[in-house]
Amino acid sequence: MKTCSDLTINGTCTSINLSPSIALTLDTVGDTDGNSSTPDSMLNLSVGLIGGAKKIRFYIDKIGLRNGSGLNETTFIDFVHSDGVGDYIDILPAGGGTLFNLQLGSETAGHMLTIANGKFDTIDFGSIFLRDKSDTLNGGACATCNLSFTFKMDKVDLTGAGFDISNDGLVFSVSSFLTPIDITFGNIRAGNSGTNMGTIGVKGLQVTNLALTISGKS
């Protein structure tokens, strides 16, 4: 991961080298509602961009599985979106500032973890390969078995979304996507075929009162 001074998705990523670019603020707050007779202390941790940082570049190569000895690794999702350093995903929060708040105690933001600035506009994952276990990056015994496509989300704004822990598990909730989101799967290809099956997607996806719960086995 690195921070960049550039204001565009993809392309160049000029590193912030001479000054801090990520601010981590830790604060304890007591009596958040002004009623001293009922203490409601809270621990607040906020993370934001400073020092000219405008976007964050996350480097991600692949997602795979290997056995307990660290051998026989199988890649099942491979990201191909390289800048010469590695494959990456750019996150560009409009306006910078605080990205998220983690609050423990009396949560004035309404969630344990709140996305303070989730206006990302476009998140481009580049080309993604879903690979058969017999395939390799350069084409293997089953190079015709993989599926590849580009994946992009436009008009992304998750400001105000949050994570909480309930009796049922980890809950992600958002009252509404502030702008309808466009999700696009493009340049869809099966195997090493040169045939492009085109583009599919969803335009203007609007969701309100979303609550997604992730729970393990009991």
At 137 the pLDDT is: 56
Q: 10 Å Cβ neighbour count for 137? A: 11
At 33 the pLDDT is: 58
Whole-number Å distance between alpha carbons of 178 and 160: 9
At 178 the pLDDT is: 65
β-pair type (22-29, 62-65): unpaired
pLDDT digits (tens, 9 = 90+) for 37-60: 665 678 889 999 998 899 999 999
Mean pLDDT to the nearest integer, 69-81: 80
Counting the structural domains of the chain, the total is 1
Question: Residue 214, class by beta-carbon neighbours within 10 Å (0-12 exposed, 13-18 middle, 19+ buried)?
Answer: exposed
pLDDT digits (tens, 9 = 90+) for 155-171: 988 888 999 998 889 99
At 200 the pLDDT is: 94
pLDDT digits (tens, 9 = 90+) for 120-131: 888 998 888 887
Band (pLDDT 50/70/90 cuts) for residue 34 is low
Q: Give the residue numbers spanning the domain of 81.
A: 2-32+39-214
Task: Output the pTM of the full model.
Answer: 0.75
pLDDT digits (tens, 9 = 90+) for 87-117: 999 999 987 788 999 988 878 778 899 998 9
Q: Enter the tokens of residue 126.
A: 């580049």
Give all strands of the β-sheet with 113-115 in edge-to-edge order.
22-29, 42-49, 97-105, 113-115, 162-166, 169-176, 208-214
179 or 141: which leads in pLDDT: 179
At 179 the pLDDT is: 75
At 141 the pLDDT is: 59
- Taking the C-alpha atoms of 171, 121, 88 and 145 in order, what is their torsion angle to the nearest 10 degrees? 80
